[in-house]
Chain A
Amino acid sequence: MNQQDNYGFLLVRASSAFGSVPIPGATVSVRTVNGDETTLYTVMTTNEDGETEAVRIPAPPADISLEPGNATPYSLVNLEIFADGFYSVGIQNMPIFSGITSTQSVNMIPLPESYKYSKYPGANIIISESEVPNL
């Protein structure tokens, strides 16, 4: 079976204050991870509810995941979410499974006032690693 025939789906929800306030117009970039390299896959924008559309991402066939010891049953992506006035968020090594929709909710934290005028906005990012099960 051709690996390209299998897809998982991903959508991103950006909000602040733990879901109280949606972040519309946030930019979400998705990069696929291949070993040490990443490739830009798509860029999306959140709607008035802070949500992107569901994007389709290639993944290995699902039946690989039904037994231990096979090849990795998921593909990996990195995300970066940017919204004006907030710390950017980076998420690395997020697994995508065939036939499964993943929802990534992102809690955006407002920048301290003085950071908004910083010469080096690149420093205003919070990066976290996702994890795959230790099976």
Chain B
Amino acid sequence: MNALYPIVPELITVHLGVPDNDEADNVTVTFQDYIKNVASSEIYPTWPEAALRANIYAQISFALNRIYTEFYPSRGKDFDITSSPAYDQTFVYGRDIYDNISEIVDEIFNDYIVRGSNIEPLYAVYCNGTTVTCNGLSQWGSVGLAENGLSAYDILASYYGNEINIVENAPVGQLEPSPPNLLLAEGSAGNDVKFIQIRLNRISTNYPSIPKIQYPDGIYGAETANAVKAFQRIFGLSQTGEVNRATWYKIQTVYNAVKQLSELESEGLRLEEVSNQFPAASVPGDSGTNVSAIQYYLHTISLFNPSIPSVEIDGYFGPSTEESVKAFQREYGLAQSGEVDADTWNTMFDAYYGIINTLSDEQLGYGHAPFPGVFLKIGAEGESVLTLQQYINAASTVYPAIPKVDEDGIFGSETRNAVYAAQAVFEFPINGIVGPLTWNALAETYDDVMSNTRSEYQYPGEIIGTEEANS
């Protein structure tokens, strides 16, 4: 990493033990959730607000310093920070979070302390100030200072020196696009608005108490405000009905999690093709469909179990696949050989199958079909082509540049032109041939569209009911 300016990461990987304990799990959580957890674990939520804020600024800066300096990766570790207060800050995975602390963190999670005009986030040392003293913020001391009326900044300056500054609103990595500069509220209009409308509709498929926005047309009316408010209520944000930074990022995060689930089916295996029959043992260095199957099971399990790292489904049993297999074996009480023998295979399939059977089809993906395994091009005919044409027509409601096609199951020049257009829109190589990339991109768009209430209305490009009619 080490960009010119610090970027607040979307996710942070926390080692649940001291650095040299190789048996301890790593968990990956959002940066906001990490700070909410640390703050709830380090201080009392009943303290005055200025003390809470001062402590939280210090906790954020400390974590960002670890990330910016790549402290643990540079020592060969596969995590960003540990949960041990002896080395870093207290983090209790899965703990309860205090609402007032959650609100403060949502506001300031991408603000941090620097010394003078330095770029590096401050290595903000702190301690309780009673049993442990240090050359930094005293947690108990901050309470007294806050009771005397000092602001959070003044409290920090009294411990870290007057030349400190607080950098505000640093960019957050990975979450594209960045939030709009202005609050989105009733009266706003534009692509930013359409972006969140489509995403809220997809999330509402899993959370039915979020009302659907019937026409995600990019205009923020009362319907959108109600959906935003319901989302805020469910995910612990202030219910303003307006999209501020924290709400924008939370919508992204939840949508990405929902999307990952729905992409399971498109990752390559139909349910009918999945077999619990143990093939042969797979070991690091192997490649082929057995390895793809293993990776698919591990990827699925990783979406539900934080102790299992995700893997790419590339059919090659490399180091990251081996690491994931070992984590799975540790978690499910098997010998950590890193190799997939009969026992490991059966346990893996058992876990995978349990997941698939517990959740509904809708939750796992709106039912879009996985890539049929055969590249589709002009001259092809059949079920898969028909499905492709349905996806193309759904996509054309979101991307007007993609022309509609006749759903006749025949891949002729009309369908090929639509594929050219789709590949241009998605910035794929434009060759008129539908492989897994093109298929999945169209299927995902179909998913999004199916999440919206069906209507004959065209969504994008047509503004509903404004006074802009040409005279």
Q: Which B residues are CB-close (under 8 A) to A116?
A: 354
Are A65 and B350 in contact (CB-based, < 8 A)? no
Given A62-B46, A68-B130, A110-B359, residue A18 in contact with residue B95 (CB < 8 A): no
Quote the shortest CB–CB distance from A59 to chain B (angstroms). Answer: 9
Residues of chain B with a CB closer than 8 A to A68's CB: 128, 130, 140
With contact pairs A20-B258, A94-B96, A103-B102 given, residues A110 and B41 touching in the complex (Cβ less than 8 Å): no
CB pair A21–B90 under 8 Å, yes or no, is no
Residues on the A chain within 8 Å of B164, using CB = none
What's the Cα separation between A18 and B85 when bound, in Å? 26
**Contact among B45, B97, B206 with A20 in the assembled complex (CB-CB below 8 Å):** B206
User: Within 8 Å of chain A (Cβ to Cβ): is B98?
Assistant: yes
B354 touches A115 (CB 8 A): yes
Question: When the two chains form the complex, which single residue of B42, B97, B303, B353 contacts A103, counting CB atoms closer than 8 Å?
Answer: B97
Given A49-B207, A133-B41: A17 in contact with B257 (beta carbons within 8 A):
yes
CB <8 Å contact, A22 and B206? yes
Select from chain B the residue with minimum beta-carbon distance to A73: B44
One digit per residue, 1 when the CB lies within 8 angstroms of any chain A CB and 0 when it does not, for chain B 85-100 equals 1000010111111111
Which one of A110, A111, A113, A131 lies within 8 Å of B92 (CB-CB)? A131
In the bound assembly, the distance between CA atoms of A134 and B92 in angstroms comes to 12
> In the assembled complex, which residues on chain B have CB atoms less than 8 Å from the CB atom of A106?
94
Q: Among A102, A113, A135, point to the contact of B96 (Cβ < 8 A).
A: A102
Instruction: State whether A19 and B46 are in contact (beta carbons under 8 Å apart), knowing that A100-B99, A111-B354 are contacts in the complex.
Output: no
A14 CB to closest chain B CB, in angstroms?
12
Tell whether A48 is near chain B: CB-to-CB under 8 Å: yes
Q: Is A98 engaged at the interface, CB distance under 8 Å to the other chain?
A: yes
- A118 CB to closest chain B CB (Å) equals 11
**Chain A 102-134 against B: per-residue CB contact (8 Å), 1 yes, 0 no?**
111111011111111000000000001111011
Query: Smallest distance from the beta carbon of B430 to chain A beta carbons, Å?
Result: 34
Contact A112 B358, beta carbon cutoff 8 Å: no
**A contact residues, total (Cβ < 8 Å):** 51
Q: A21-B261, A73-B46, A130-B96 are in contact. Are A107 and B359 (CB under 8 A)?
A: no
Q: Determine if A114 and B355 form an interchain contact, defined as CB atoms under 8 angstroms apart.
A: no
Interface residues in B, total, Cβ within 8 A = 52
Which of the residues A94, A111, A113, A135 comes within 8 Å of B139, measured between beta carbons?
Answer: A135
B209 within 8 A of A: yes
Contacting residue for B261 out of A17, A48, A101, CB 8 A: A17
Closest residue to B254 on the A side, CB-wise? A19
Contacts A107-B306, A135-B130 given: A65-B358 contact, CB under 8 Å? no
Contact B143 A66 (CB under 8 A): yes
For the complex, what is the distance from the CA of A23 to the CA of B221, rounded to whole Å?
Answer: 30
Task: Tell me which residues across on chain A come within 8 A of B209, comparing CB atoms.
Answer: 47-49
Shortest A58–chain B CB gap in Å is 15
**Across the two chains, which residue of chain A brings its CB closest to B236?**
A103
Q: Tell me whether A112 and B351 are in contact in the complex, defined as CB-CB below 8 angstroms, given that A48-B209, A85-B358 are known contacts.
A: yes
**Which A residues touch B102, using CB under 8 A?**
103
The answer to the question of B457 belonging to the interface, with a C-beta cut-off of 8 Å to chain A, is no
- Give the residues in chain B near A66, CB-CB below 8 Å: 46-47, 143, 147
Per the bound structure, the CA–CA distance linking A18 and B303 in Å amounts to 7
B50 to chain A, nearest CB (A): 13
Contacts of B257 in A (CB 8 A): 17-20
Q: Residues 80-105 of chain A: 1 if any B CB is under 8 Å from the residue's CB, otherwise 0?
A: 00000110000100100111111111
By a CB distance below 8 angstroms, the chain B residues around A62 are 46
B253-288 CB contacts (< 8 Å) to partner A: 253-254, 257-258, 260-261
> Is the Cβ of B43 less than 8 Å from the Cβ of A133?
yes
Cα(A91)–Cα(B90), bound, Å: 18
Question: Does B464 sit at the interface, judged by CB under 8 A?
Answer: no
Q: Is the CB of A113 within 8 A of B357?
A: yes
In angstroms, Cα B354 to Cα A19, docked, is: 18
Within the complex, the shortest CB–CB distance from B344 to chain A, in Å, comes to: 13
**Cα–Cα, bound, A97→B52 (Å):** 15
A110 and B96 within 8 A (CB)? no
State whether the Cβ of B465 lies closer than 8 Å to any Cβ in chain A: no
* Bound Cα distance from A97 to B258, whole angstroms: 33
Q: Which residues of B contact A91 (CB under 8 A)?
A: 94, 96
What's the nearest-Cβ distance from chain B to residue A2, in Å? 18
Residues of A within 8 A of B236 (CB): 13, 103
Please name the residue on chain B nearest to A85 by beta carbon: B358
B347 interface hit (Cβ, 8 Å): yes
Q: How far apart are A123's CB and chain B's nearest CB, in angstroms?
A: 11
Interface residues in B41-74 (C-beta closer than 8 Å to A): 41-47
The 19 listed contacts between A and B (C-beta, < 8 Å) are A16-B304, A18-B303, A19-B254, A20-B254, A20-B261, A22-B206, A62-B46, A68-B140, A100-B45, A105-B97, A107-B306, A110-B358, A113-B353, A114-B350, A115-B354, A116-B354, A130-B92, A131-B41, A134-B85
**Which A residues are within 8 Å of any B CB, using their own CB?**
10, 13, 16-22, 47-49, 51, 62, 65-69, 73-74, 85-86, 91, 94, 97-107, 109-116, 128-131, 133-135
- B binding-site residues for A, Cβ under 8 Å: 41-47, 85, 90, 92-100, 102, 128, 130, 139-140, 143, 147, 206-209, 234-236, 253-254, 257-258, 260-261, 303-306, 347, 350-351, 353-355, 357-359, 363
Q: Which 4 residue pairs are nearest across A and B when measured between Cβ atoms?
A: A110-B358, A112-B350, A85-B358, A112-B354
Other than A66-B47, A97-B46, A131-B92, give 11 A-B pairs with Cβ distance below 8 A.
A17-B257, A20-B258, A21-B363, A49-B209, A66-B143, A85-B357, A97-B98, A105-B97, A113-B353, A133-B41, A135-B43
